[in-house]
Amino acid sequence: MANEVTSDMTDEATRARDEPTHFIQDIIEQDLAGGKHNAVVTRFPPEPNGYLHIGHAKSIVLNYSLAKDFSGRFHLRFDDTNPTTEDAEFVDSIQRDIRWLGVDWGDNLFHASDYFERLYRFAEQLINQEQAYVDSLSDEDVRAYRGTVTEAGKPSPHRDRSVAENLDLFRRMRAGEFQDGEHVLRAKIDMASPNMKMRDPLIYRIRRHHHYRTGDEWCIYPLYDFAHCLSDYIEGITHSICTLEFENNRELYDWILDALVKGERPHQYEFARLAMTHTIMSKRNLLELVRDGHVSGWDDPRMPTLSGYRRRGYTPEAIRRFCEAIGVAKNNSTVEVALLEHTLRDDLNRRARRVMAVLDPLPVVIENYPQDKQEELDAAYFPADIGKEGSRRLPFSANLLIERADFAEHPPKGFHRLTVGGRVRLRHGYVIRCDGVERDDAGNIAKLRCSHEPDTLDAAPKGPRVKGTIHWVCAKTAVEVEVRLFDRLFKDEFPGAGDADFKDSLNPNSLTVGRAHVELSLKSAAVGDLFQFERTGFFRVDEDTQGDGLVFNRTVPLKDSWAKQSKQDLAPPKRERSKPGAVASTPALLLDADAQALVDTHALDPSQAKVLAENPRLLATFNDALSSGQPAQALSAIIANDIRSAAKGIDGDLPISGQGVARVVELTSSGKISSSAAKRLIKAMVGGEGDPDAIIKARGLAKMGDDELSSVVAAALAQNAEVVERYRAGEKNLFGVLMGAAMREAAGRADAGAVKKVLSEALG
């Protein structure tokens, strides 16, 4: 019965090329076209000091898709340079979680700790070049000498040690002659730099600590800024993608590589990290929850870790689709957790078999049904519109259980479920009528007395129409199981915001353990199986299941009840659209009224709506462009992304009209110019060059036809005959090199997708 979730990202990654591009894809296209790189090599560099969370998934999916899209390579590298916090347990869990996501790093598994010797030699090279020195100030003094943002730092008294003295001290640091903290190695850059990261950053420190891989071989360890860029270089990474908080580190990244290596080298690019409402994502804080017993472990189903989501019943497909839906942007924003849940429901809806379970049972006796009879009803696992096969036999008898809430003695207006004298259909079964109630000694309803209408199994009942259908189980054969119902782990939208302690926001009711009566077919359910309990939610069989003692986690209720409970102060949740791609149009960000209005009126991407609402100039251009009749989403994509960045530093009115933008959209959607040419066109227009058609002519930006593209690709192959030969002999990873050559030859006048297609054909 196990429906193990397996998946592979290849198809989705390929499909993604037809969707609008984001800024990192654009950078890569330009790098390949301009010859900065021949191939694309990306990496995901986790520090093995905790389990992966959903923010990491965003980074993994991004890096992996980029490598796939451009036929490049994806590396998994453990950034294991800090022996005090790292552990092999984390290394294993990280690999398991990445595989589960459907991401395959092939042979490209690396460890920064494998480079310790090379990194050490790079450090000596810096000393020899008089670009690094051993400092012997205490931690506090190093800090005090560094100065502040408004005040230059001052040089350490050890800054001018000779090369010989520095080498001697550094070698003795390695040899273990000193205690922790006695000396450090620092890059010699600029104590007055406006960028604090450049004020002689520490690059090596003494840590007499056992390392989970290198044991006691080392007692000095490189710091992140030194180890990371050089590890990227050693592996031939081309695009080193990290989150925005590393923006200030980029100058140092470049400085170190400029000082130490020649030729092709990696470059760092930053994107916005994922933040989500009701969720914390710092590993340090997650560790605290685990350590202090607020949750049962890293894989507690309430945790935002990949192992927690897996255990709860999330699928890798849902998480990947969520990562794609939120997009890749350059400004930080918060995504509503409701978007993740929406994506999940969408996925489970197509995947999970429908079965029946009663959480709060009310006994029903069918008095006109033979009391010792049992029949089996045929019940499909999926509704017809899902298009999936499969059914089970559902036991039916005179004794049933229904949900207590599906009966009302004094029904409110519009109640379509069971009432005394009323009728409902039992799902997959008969129409029944309630004839009366039996009460216990305390006067509470203990049982419903009902009768069934025998020929209603596959037919409409005689008499008045029956409005409601309810779920049920056969009391004699039902299996009693444990159910774990989850609510948000944090009550507040922004746990720990400001000075608050994130733990103060923990929801004391985040876990409710109860019992349920499930239909007989679930007796053989296996750990990992996913189901929809009709009308109650999606459930997954938990690892705590033992023998007959089944445990079900509720993955997510069918509808978002949270929004009703506590979101008065927020924009109301929007109706869900049923058309494909609807995910992106549900509210992902916390929007103010103006931005929300743009989303509502024009179905704009929420993050773009936010940009437009916050920039009067851009909004004016957008409104002006709308009259052209070009699609609002295409206009907003160009205005909120390309024009916004091209217009930085320009004061006053923009030298580009709404009509000009509309013309760019028209040229792009009709295939006359490529997306990278469109970016150059926009830049030129914002730069004041005027008419788009004239610019295209003057700069040769028009897209090439199929014939020209074929001959361009042929030319690129001819120039790289040797590589082609090796590729054909089996070195398939050289595809990226050829792709780079072809992109360069095409000089921005063809999309990467088109180049890739023609190139694949040419190579057979």
Residues recognised as catalytic = 47, 273, 283
> Toward ligand ATP, which CB reaches closer, 85 or 214?
85
Contact 307, 51 (CB under 8 A): yes
Residue 76 tokens read as: 């998994």
Name the residue nearer to ligand ATP (CB basis): 273 or 427: 273
Residue 276 C-beta: closest distance to ligand ATP, Å: 9
Determine the Cα–Cα distance for residues 571 and 95; give it in Å rounded to an integer. Answer: 39
| CA gap 290, 689 in Å, rounded | 59
Q: Which is nearer to ligand ATP, 166 or 333 (CB)?
A: 333
Tell me how far, at minimum, the Cβ of 287 lies from ligand ATP, in Å: 9
Pick between residue 3 and residue 282 the one whose CB is nearest to ligand ATP: 282
CA distances to 27, 94, 682, 696, 709 from 746, rounded to whole Å, are: 16, 40, 20, 15, 7
Residues whose CB falls within 8 Å of the CB of residue 143, separated by 6 or more in sequence, listed in order: none
> Reduced to 3 states, what is the DSSP secondary structure of residue 132?
strand
Pick from 165, 170, 193, 191: which is nearest to 182 by CA? Answer: 170
Helix (H) or strand (E) holding 483: strand 479-486
User: Residue 464 Cβ, how far from ligand ATP at the closest point, in Å?
Assistant: 56
Distance of alpha carbon 318 from alpha carbon 345, whole angstroms: 8
Q: Which residue is nearest to ligand ATP (CB)?
A: 55
Instruction: Write down the least CB distance from residue 163 to ligand ATP, Å.
Output: 34
Residue 83 or residue 528: which is nearer to ligand ATP going by CB? Answer: 83
Residue with Cβ nearer ligand ATP (304 or 606): 304
Rounded to a whole number of angstroms, the minimum distance from the CB of residue 64 to ligand ATP is 12
Whether residue 338 contacts residue 563, with contact meaning beta carbons closer than 8 Å, is answered with: yes
Task: List residues binding ligand ATP (CB under 6 A).
Answer: 45-47, 55-56, 58-59, 242-243, 273-274, 281-283
Q: Helix 606-614 crosses helix 593-602 at what angle (to 10 degrees)? A: 130
Number of helices (H) and strands (E) in the chain: give both, helices first. 26, 27
Residues 651/644, Cβ–Cβ less than 8 Å? no
Q: Are 692 and 663 in contact (CB under 8 A)?
A: yes
Rounded Cα gap, residues 256 and 187, in angstroms: 9
Sign of the CA dihedral with 183 first, then 184, 189, and 191 last? negative
Could you tell me if 358 and 472 are in contact, meaning their C-beta atoms sit under 8 angstroms apart? yes
Smaller CB separation from ligand ATP, 78 or 178: 78
CB of 691 to ligand ATP, least distance (A): 41
Angstrom distance (rounded) from CA 6 to CA 128:
52
Residue 613 beta carbon to ligand ATP: minimum distance, rounded to whole angstroms: 24
Could you tell me if 41 and 75 are in contact, meaning their C-beta atoms sit under 8 angstroms apart? yes
Q: Which is nearer to ligand ATP, 99 or 350 (CB)?
A: 99
What are residue 645's phi and psi, to 5 degrees?
A: -75, -35
* Pick 59 or 596: Cβ nearer ligand ATP: 59
Q: Are 13 and 753 in contact (CB under 8 A)?
A: no
Instruction: Quote the radius of gyration of the chain (alpha carbons, Å).
Output: 31
Cβ atoms of residues 294 and 315 within 8 Å = no
CB of 282 to ligand ATP, least distance (A): 5
Min CB(46)–ligand ATP separation in Å: 4
For the CB of residue 32, give the shortest distance to ligand ATP in the complex, in Å.
Answer: 23
Q: What's the rounded Cα separation, in Å, for the pair 391 and 397?
A: 19
- Residue 694 CB, nearest distance to ligand ATP (Å)? 42
DSSP labels for 689-736?
---HHHHHHHHT-BPPPHHHHHHHHHHHHHHTHHHHHHHHTT-GGGHH
Q: Which is nearer to ligand ATP, 45 or 606 (CB)?
A: 45
Gap between the Cα atoms of 93 and 108, Å rounded:
17
Q: Is 389 exposed, middle or buried (0-12, 13-18, 19+ CB in 10 A)?
A: exposed
Residue 37 · residue 27 · CB < 8 Å: no
- Residue 573 is classified by DSSP as P
For ligand ATP, the closer of residues 243 and 710 by Cβ is 243
Both tokens assigned to 482: 């444990």
